[in-house]
Chains A and B, each alone.
Chain A
Amino acid sequence: MKSRLRFTLQLGFTLLVCLFMIVPVAMSVMAGLTENYFVGLQSGLTLRWVNEVWQLYSDTIWLSIKLALACLLITILIGVPAAYGLLRSRRRWANAIEELLLLPVAVPGLATALALLLAYGSYREFRGSWLFILVGHVLFTLPFMVRAVLSVMQTANLPQLEEAAASLGANFRQRFFAVVVPNCMSGVLAGALMVVTLSIGEFNITWMLHTPLTKTLPVGLADSYASMRLEIGSAYTLIFLMMVVPLLVAIQWAGRFTRQRR
């Protein structure tokens, strides 16, 4: 009897927390789909606002996708070798280097962006291009790729596998591409999902680095919250959610997948 009461109380508490998390999201989704939020649902449902957002802000969405993919490519190209390097370095060195690479995550994005601006802001061409934002995103997402790949490499018995390949006459390049890379694919996948999600949602660095011509999705969101009517901000948020929630589901799925494999 007593444990029954306790269960009900705890369930009630947890449901309250869930309400706190879901109510504003649901309200925002509703606001993005109603004709007039001040009047309420009776004004009717519409896709008019979503349409308007698409007309006003579609370039920010494309830029965000482009940035996320470029960021992914670079973090794979430099992150996978870096993880391998960390695996092969002495423990003390590996820890120190990992700590260093983590700094752009440990320090608020605002500080990183300010440092970039003060150091490279005077190179007009670079500062005005989307590559400037890309640099910030790569710094911020690289540790997540390295960590994801490294943790798979550590469980995959790579040294033994490589030794076996070497004893059969494989040179370093053959070993790296035929043994190391295929064995850490699940780590690359987990890291890639993380990198894309973080890059699409990144605001703190991007806001300082963007120019009127290089606005990303979150920058556009902030812009619409400040200067557009509530329905447009909500519809824009809805579009953002539609992009990010599938990625999140995929991250969960990938996590379960790698855990099962181990």
Chain B
Amino acid sequence: MKAVSKQPYGAASSLTHRVALASQPRRQNLIALCALLPALVVFCAFWLLPFSRLIVMGAEADRSSGISAYLTILTHRQYLISLVTTVGISLVVSITAVAIAGIAGFFLARQRFFGKAVLVAILTFPLAFPGVVVGFLVIMLGGRQGALAQASLWLFGERWMFAYSLAGLFIGYLYFSIPRVITTVMAACDNLDQSLEEAARSLGANTWQVTKDVIIPGIAPALLSTGAICFATSMGAFGTAFTLGTRLSILPLNIYGEFTNYANFAMAAALSVVLGVITWIALSIARRLAGGNLGASA
């Protein structure tokens, strides 16, 4: 009897419940869409549309060769060399930075000593220096009046300089890469399970074996991801290269030159798209490996 009298009421309740459930997601989606709309409008109007046009423009005929600019990049030595140089120097910088900052970062994460906070601060605060400032700091080290020139003048009577060459570029890229790697490595070491190391040690592994078989595999994703971020940042580092001299043949300077000196818009667009695709792939790999970290470009 009780069950029967409750029946209609229960049916109605389950009906309204179902209606609510059906309308809830739709309303939810609408709210989400409205909240996202302003950001999406700005993004589409000022980035997606212009960049799509850039992609199309890159397929137009190049000024000097008369064929599609994308093809020109692949067929002309000058562009291929600059592409290879840029990728090469960025790779070497990333590997060097990961090696140097990996050691220093691990040391700082694991040891406690007086003045450690100062060292960490020194190693991380250049994170916010724009590329131009880093370029100027390289001039301070290796320019005509730089530290090296003064030291060599005093010791050997001649000025040694490296700032305005690929070596200067390398030092500059290294300068802005090291802080990025250090912060990531320190965070990764903090998350590493110390008991694994103790276990390895109690089983008789020496320091080298522990490092090789426990620590490095443990922080490998972080190392790879921060390396990829350094690579992408170095690929697109226009400011540093610009300060150090416009004669170097690397992609960002080529793009700038094609655009301002030759008004060769198709070529500048094609080179930008190629550069953008390379850095985007590198950063996607980085994010897949580590998640969370956006790499700001220098």
Taking Cβ atoms with an 8 Å cutoff, the residues of A that contact B are 6-7, 10-11, 13-15, 17-18, 20-25, 27-28, 31, 37-38, 77-79, 81-82, 84-86, 88-90, 97, 100-112, 114-116, 118-120, 135, 138-139, 142-144, 146-147, 151, 172, 197-198, 201-204, 207-208, 218, 221-222, 225-226, 230, 233, 237, 240, 244-245, 247-248
Whether A108 lies near B276 (C-beta < 8 A) is: yes
Q: Which residues of A contact B236 (CB under 8 A)?
A: 107-111, 204
Q: B2-40: which have CB < 8 Å to A? A: 28-29, 31-40
B269 to chain A, nearest CB (A): 7
A95 vs chain B, min Cβ distance (A)? 11
One of A13, A139, A225 near B139 (C-beta < 8 A): A225
Q: What's the minimum C-beta distance from B241 to chain A, rounded to whole angstroms? A: 10
Give the distance in Å from the alpha carbon of A253 to the alpha carbon of B239 in the complex.
28
- Complex Cα gap A90–B31 (Å): 12
Q: State in angstroms the CA–CA spacing of A260 and B297 once bound together.
A: 29
Q: Are B128's CB and A142's CB within 8 A?
A: no
**Smallest CB separation, B27 vs chain A (Å):** 9
Let me know if A225 and B136 touch, CB within 8 A.
yes
A247 (CB) vs chain B CBs: closest residue: B128
Closest Cβ neighbor of A198 among chain B residues: B296
Closest to B283 in A: A106
| Max chain A C-beta neighbours (<10 A), residue from B32, B175, B275 | B32
Q: Is the CB of B243 within 8 A of A222?
A: yes
Does B145 interact with chain A (Cβ within 8 Å)?
A: yes
B126 to chain A, nearest CB (A): 6
Contact B40 A118 (CB under 8 A): no
Chain B residue with the shortest CB-CB distance to A120: B50
Contact partner, A197, options B47, B128, B235, Cβ 8 Å? B128
- Report whether B133 and A240 are in contact in the complex, using a CB–CB cutoff of 8 Å: yes
Output the nearest chain B residue to A204 by Cβ-Cβ distance. Answer: B238
Hey, which bits of chain B sit against chain A, CB under 8 A? Answer: 28-29, 31-40, 42-43, 46-51, 53-54, 57, 100-101, 103-104, 107-108, 111, 113, 119, 122-123, 125-133, 135-141, 145, 147, 175, 178-179, 207, 232, 235-236, 238-239, 242-243, 252, 255-256, 259, 265, 268-269, 272-273, 275-276, 279-280, 283-284, 292, 294-297
Q: A110-B236, A110-B238, A226-B243 are in contact. List 9 more A-B contacts (CB 8 A).
A: A20-B175, A24-B138, A38-B145, A101-B39, A106-B279, A107-B276, A111-B272, A221-B133, A225-B132
Taking the closest CB of chain A, its distance from the CB of B197, in whole angstroms, is 14
The residues of A that contact B135 with a CB separation of less than 8 Å are 225
26 contacts between A and B (CB under 8 A): A10-B107, A15-B119, A82-B38, A82-B39, A82-B40, A84-B32, A85-B31, A88-B31, A101-B39, A106-B232, A107-B275, A107-B279, A108-B275, A111-B51, A114-B272, A116-B50, A119-B49, A143-B294, A144-B296, A146-B39, A147-B292, A221-B133, A240-B133, A244-B129, A245-B125, A247-B128
In the complex, which residue of chain A has the Cβ closest to the Cβ of B252?
A: A110
Whether A221 contacts B50 in the complex (CB less than 8 A), given A85-B35, A111-B275, A139-B43, comes out as no
Q: Please, which residues of chain A bring their CB within 8 A of the CB of B50? A: 115-116, 118-120
Whether the Cβ atoms of A88 and B28 lie closer than 8 Å is: yes
User: Which residues does chain B contribute within 8 Å of A102, judged by CB atoms?
Assistant: 283, 294
- Is B238's CB under 8 angstroms from A82's CB? no
- Chain A residues, CB < 8 A from B37: 85
Residue of B nearest to A27 (CB): B140
Are A222 and B36 interface neighbours, CB within 8 A?
no
The 10 closest A-B pairs by CB, nearest first: A108-B236, A85-B35, A85-B36, A119-B50, A115-B50, A111-B272, A82-B39, A24-B137, A107-B276, A88-B32
Whole-angstrom distance between the Cβ of B253 and the nearest chain A Cβ? 10
Q: Are B294 and A105 in contact (CB under 8 A)?
A: yes
* Residue with the greatest number of chain A CB neighbours at <10 A, chosen from B127, B147, B296: B296
Assembly CA distance A120 to B295 (angstroms): 27
Most buried by B among A27, A111, A202, A248: A111
Neighbour of B43 across the interface among A6, A28, A101, CB < 8 A? A101
Instruction: Name the B residues within 8 Å of A108 (CB-CB).
Output: 235-236, 238, 252, 272, 275-276, 279, 297
Q: Which of B36, B48, B130, B283 contacts A89 (CB 8 A)?
A: B36
